[in-house]
Amino acid sequence: MSKISLPKYEELKKLLLVNAGIANILPSECRALSDRVYKKNGNRISETTFKRIYGFAYSKYSPSLFTLNVLARFCNYKSWDDFCEKQDQKAISGPAKELNWLLIQQSANKITSFTLQALKNKSGIPYNQTIDREFIDYHFDEFIASGRVGTVIAAPAGYGKTIALCQWIEKKLAVDALNDVNDIVLLFSSNAIMSALVSGRDIHEWMLALLGHHADDDVNVLLDSKQRGRNKFYLIIDGFDDHMFKSDHFKIIMNQLIDIFSFYQNHDWFKLVLTTRTATWINNRHEFEIVQDSWYTGFNSDGNCINVPLFTLQEIKLLCHQIKPGTESFISLNVVENFNHPLYFQFYYQQHKDNFLQHRIDHLSLYETISVFILKKVYLGQYSAEKMLLIKGLVNELDIENESYQINRTKISSLLKKYLHAYQELLSVGFIREINESSNYQLNTYVVFGNDQFMEHSIAKTLLYDNSNLLDNDLIKNINELFTSNPHKVNVLKWCMIHAIKTGQLKNIENIIETHLSMNEKSEVITFLGEVLESEHSSTIRNDSLVQYFKHSFSEKLFDYFFGLELINSDYKKFLKVLLKFELSDKKKILIHTTLAVIATIQLDLNELEISLAKLKTFAKAEFEIYPVNPLNCLDAIYYHLKYGIIKTEAITDLTKLYFNAAGNLLELKKSASNDILFLLGLHTLLLSNNPLKILRFIQFLNRNYRSDVSNNHVREYFFFIKTLEANSYFELGELAKVSNIYHDLSASYKKNNNLLTPYMKMLFHSLKIKTLINNTLKDNQIAGEIKQINNIAHQFGYKLSKMYVFSVLLKSPTLQTSSPELYKQISDDFNKITRESGLNPKLFLQHSIIKNRRL
C-alpha cells in the first residue's frame, strides 16, 4: 500500500488515544500503549512504532497495512478498510458542512496542537521551565510589518529555535482567542513533511488534505477575501534541514515549498515560516530567493546568517530561576559568555538535574558539558570510529598557522566519500557545517567545524593522537609552532591538560611552563588548572595516581611559575587555595599565605587579611629568616595601619637596613617570581613611611643587586610594578615631568598589544595616566574616561585599595573640585561608600601627612 488517506489516518490516531484513555500522549506512554493493544488484540506493535506514529521518532515510511489493521481492531473495527468504509458512510449520512475559513482553522488547530505537544516533549529542559525569548516577538512583528510572504529563523544547532517558535505560537493562539482574531496557524515538523513525501503527494495537496477537505475547495476558501477577511494563514515548518532527508528527497520537498511560496507570494495574508540551520539556509537561499529581497530574514550586516541571539545575562538568570528559584546568581560573570549557548546550558542541566547549580558554574563546567555532548553525539552510536578518523582528517586540512579554518570541500572529496555516513552523522548533530559561498565565476563550498569549541577539542585530540597521547615537551613544541598569537592556543592547551589529568599524566603538567603564553593567557591557564585539580580532588571517585599526586609537592620550577603580582584576581585566590591541598613544605605554604594576604589587602577584605596573618603566625619565626623580606612583618604593618591607623615601624626599619647594609648578601640571591612578590611587598610597605626618597633608594638597590635586565620577557611584569612605584614617588615629590616620561615609556611598551596587561596591571596603568592629567582643567574629560575604566575593572575584580588610592589623589586636587564639581562629587560619593563598606577611616587616605604615597 503506497498511499493512505491522511485525514482518516489522523482520525484513527485520535480514536486510538480515546479508546486507550490517553488525553495527551507523551513518549513515556508509548510502551504502555503497546501493552494495551497487545492485551486486547494479541498482536504486538512495538513502542518504537508508536513513537513514529505520534511523531516522537523519525519515520521514513507510511505505517504498514498490518499496523493499520491492528490499530483499527483496537478501536473496534474489523480492519483498516472497514474503518475507512465506516468513515465514508458517516460522511455521506451526516449533515453536510459548509466549507469555510473557521472549519479550516479548527482542523489546523488540531494539527498544530499535536505538533506543539510533540516538539515540547522533545525539549532538553522541561518546557514549563523554559523562558520567553524577546527576539522572537520582535522578529515576527518586523516580518509582518514588512509585508513579505516568507521568513526564516536561522541559527546553528542548539540555539533554541524550536522552543522559541513554540512559545511564540502558544502566545499568538492565546492572544488571538482573546481578541477574536481567526488567523490560521498550521505547524509541521520536518518528520511530518517526510510523511508527505512518502504518501506520494505534493506538499500543498497533502497540507490541504490534512485539513480535512478537498484541496480545490480549500484553496478557494483561502483565496476568498470575503470569508478570510483580515485574517492570515501561517504555514510553519520547524527543522527544515537538509541533513534530515536524503539529498534527492530534500530537493523535492524544497522545490514544492518554493512552488507554494511562488503561488502565494503576491498574497500578504499568507505567511511561510521556516526554522532551519544556518548552513542549510546559506547553501540553499539562492533557490528560495525567486525575487530579490522576497524573504524577511532579520540578519545582521555581518553576513553570518544567524538571527537567533545567544542568551543574555538576564535571560540566563531568569532561566536559572525558572529551574530552581534562588540560584540565578550562581553563574560567574566571567563564564556567562560560554554558557550563553542554549545547547550547552541544556546539557549542563541534563548532567545536574538533581543538584542543579548547587555549586557555582566555572570554566571547567563548560568543558565537561562539551565533553558530554561529544561523548553522546560523536563517540557513541554508529560509525564512531569513522567519525573519529574523519575529524582527524579534517583537522589535518586546517591551516592553523595562518588562522584559516575553512576547508575547501573539493579538496577533501575523497575523504568525505570514504566516510560518507560519518560525515552525514556529524552534519546532523551540528559538529561540522557545510557552507556554500559560490559566485557566478567560482565554486566555493567549504566544510567548517560547528563552533570554536568543537574545533579546539578536535585539534587537541589530533595533536595528542599524533604524539602517543602524551602531554610532553614534544606536544608543547608542536603547540608553540602551530599557534603563535592564535586565540585558540589556550583552549587547545586546556583540552590537553584535561586529558593528561584524566589519564594519570599528572607529572607531565609541568611541561605547560614551556608554552609561549602572554601573561593574560598564563593567568587563564593557571585558573583553569586550579579548577580541574579542585574538581578531581573533590570527586568521590579518584584514581590512585591522583591520590599520590596530591601527596607530593610541586617542583620548584612549576611552583615558581604559579606566582606573580600581575596574576591577582578572585580566580587566582581560588587557585592558591587549591595548592594548599598538596603536601607542601613550610616555605611554600608561607609564600601561598603571603600572596593570599596581599590579595585580601588589595581587595580591602580585612577579615581575610586577618585570617592569612593568623595562618602565617603559626609558623616558627625561624622559617621567615630565609626570606630577604619578612612577609609577616610587612603584612602585619599594613594590617595595623588599615585597621587602626597605627604605623608599626619594625618592618620599615628592617627594610631600611636591608638596602643600606645587606647589599653584599643579595648578590647571589636567586631570581624568582616568589622573590619578586616579596620585594614588591617590601616596597609597598615602605609607602607607610611617608618618604618617597626611601622608595627610590630601595628601587635603586634592587636594580643594582637583584634584577636589572628589563628586556627579559619573563620579568617584564616585575619591572612594570617597579616603574609604577617609581612614578608614584616622583608624583609625591612634585616631579611631574618624570611621571609623564615613565607613563609614556610604559605606554609605548604595551601600546602594540594591550592584552599584555593583566587586569591588575591595567588598573595601575589607568591610575598612572590620571597622575599625568591631574591639575590640568583642560583634561578633566580624559580623567572622567580613565575613572570609568578604573570603576569597571575594580567592580569586576575587586581592586578596592588601588581605586581608593587614586580617588584620594583626585579628592586632594586643588583644581578638580572647581573645574568639574559633578565629577568631584561622584568621586567623593564613591570614595565614601567604599570606606564605609570596608570599615576604614577616610582620614587614612585623605590626610596628606598619613596617606602620602599610600598604595598597593
Length of the chain: 856
Work out the widest C-alpha separation in the chain, in whole angstroms.
116
Q: Which three cell numbers stand for residue 97?
A: 458542512
Q: What's residue 82's pLDDT?
A: 87
Distance (Å, rounded) from C-alpha 534 to C-alpha 528?
10
Q: What's residue 60's pLDDT?
A: 61
Q: What's residue 536's pLDDT?
A: 78
Distance (Å, rounded) from C-alpha 169 to C-alpha 675?
64
Q: What's residue 478's pLDDT?
A: 94
* Amino acid letter, 248: D
Q: What's residue 589's pLDDT?
A: 93
Reduced to 3 states (helix: H, G, I; strand: E, B; else coil), residue 469 is coil
Q: Which three cell numbers stand for residue 629?
A: 623580606
Q: What's residue 685's pLDDT?
A: 94
Nearest partner of 469 among 505, 423, 443, judged by Cα: 505
Q: What's residue 220's pLDDT?
A: 64
Distance (Å, rounded) from C-alpha 458 to C-alpha 496?
11
Q: Which three cell numbers stand for residue 497?
A: 591538560
Residues of the chain with pLDDT under 70: 1-7, 23-24, 55, 58-61, 90-99, 195-201, 209-210, 212-225, 247, 301-303, 327-338, 357-362, 440, 539-547, 549-553, 662-669, 709-714, 752, 754, 775-778, 847-856
pLDDT tens digit sequence for 499-509: 998 888 888 89
Nearest partner of 634 among 673, 592, 597, 582, judged by Cα: 597
Q: Which helix or strand (DSSP H or E) is residue 448 part of?
A: strand 445-449
Q: What's residue 851's pLDDT?
A: 34
C-alpha angle with apex 231: 225 to 234, nearest 5 degrees?
Answer: 110
pLDDT tens digit sequence for 528-567: 898 888 887 776 555 666 667 666 667 788 888 888 889 9
